[in-house]
Amino acid sequence: MPATAVSASTMAAPEVPASRMPALYIPHGGGPSFFMGGERKQRYQAAEDFLRSIDHLLPAKPSAILIVTAHWEADVVSFTGAAQPELIYDYYGFPPETYALQYPAPGQPALAAQAAALLQAAGLPAAVDGHYGWDHGVFIPLKVMYPQADIPVVAMSLQASLDPALHCAMGAALHSLRDAGVLIVGAGMSYHNLANFAAAAPASFAFHDWLDQTLAANRDERTRLLAQWSQAPGGRASHPREEHLLPLMVASGAGSDAPARRLWRGAVGPSCLAAWAFD
């Protein structure tokens, strides 16, 4: 019996699991500023308001959160494997109460092992660290996003080479976790020039315009362009060192060929910040 031709217009589109999470790149804030008062609190208020809105932007409650932190670099990419990781207060010179902040969400050792296995299957060395805790790039934004601390969390390190293409590849290896309801979060800052915060701030707007254009491309093209981020307008002025930008590469790699969706663009003082979702 001859095969029946099916036109592209009548062919059913691939079904997207209802639980599929996007991958996000978000600002994690300046130390514990979200939990302070005065001018410091006001400077980061817009970013805090955005983080509080994230749960309403997702298709469902995440089954778990895999968060890439800009504050952990390892020669072998590592995932926190403790059932209840301790907090690392890796900020300095802040009020005493900011060192008493708690975030008692559970870890998820099985997810850490699964994530490491996915990287290894892609030929990327990976390990589970059963002792490392959650630094402020993990617990500070999550305490704003999910203050009830009832979603399991696994933190992921950067790879110490800070190679952008490698971090895109890491994200691509992890993308299947999204189908199981895992929210992949790259936590950094899209502008991070602390030594020259005000003077370099005008460059941040040019860099964010470039990021918007770059992240509208398909995944392979995003990877190619993101590898050249330091030549972008305002790129190196916005990031004298790129560790706070690298979580974006992981989130982009974990996304599909669809253009990124900019979720938020705002300011911290005179500088521009933004957040994107990758479907």
DSSP states along the chain: -PPPP--TTTSPPPPPPTTPPPEEEEE--STTGGG--HHHHHHTHHHHHHHHHGGGGSSS--SEEEEEEEEEEESSEEEE--SSPPB-----S--GGGGS------B-HHHHHHHHHHHHHTT--EEEESS--B-HHHHHHHHHH-TT--S-EEEEEEETT--HHHHHHHHHHHGGGGGGTEEEEEEE-S---GGGTTTTHHHHHHHHHHHHHHHTS-HHHHHHHHTTGGGSTTHHHH-SSGGGTHHHHHHHHHS-SSPPEEEEEEEETTEEEEEEEE-
Task: Please give the pLDDT value at position 2.
Answer: 33
Cβ–Cβ < 8 Å for 229, 241? no
Predicted confidence (pLDDT) per residue in 68-80, tens digit: 999 999 999 999 9
Ranges of the chain with pLDDT below 50: 1-16
pLDDT of 17: 55
Q: What is the structure's pLDDT at 174?
A: 98
Contact 79, 155 (CB under 8 A): yes
Residues 65 and 186: their CA atoms lie apart, in Å, by 11
pLDDT of the residue at 10 = 31
Burial of 86 (0-12, 13-18, 19+ CB in 10 A): exposed
Q: What is the pLDDT of residue 195?
A: 82
What are the structure tokens assigned to 110, written together? 């099985």
Q: What percent of the chain has pLDDT over 70?
A: 93
- pTM score: 0.93
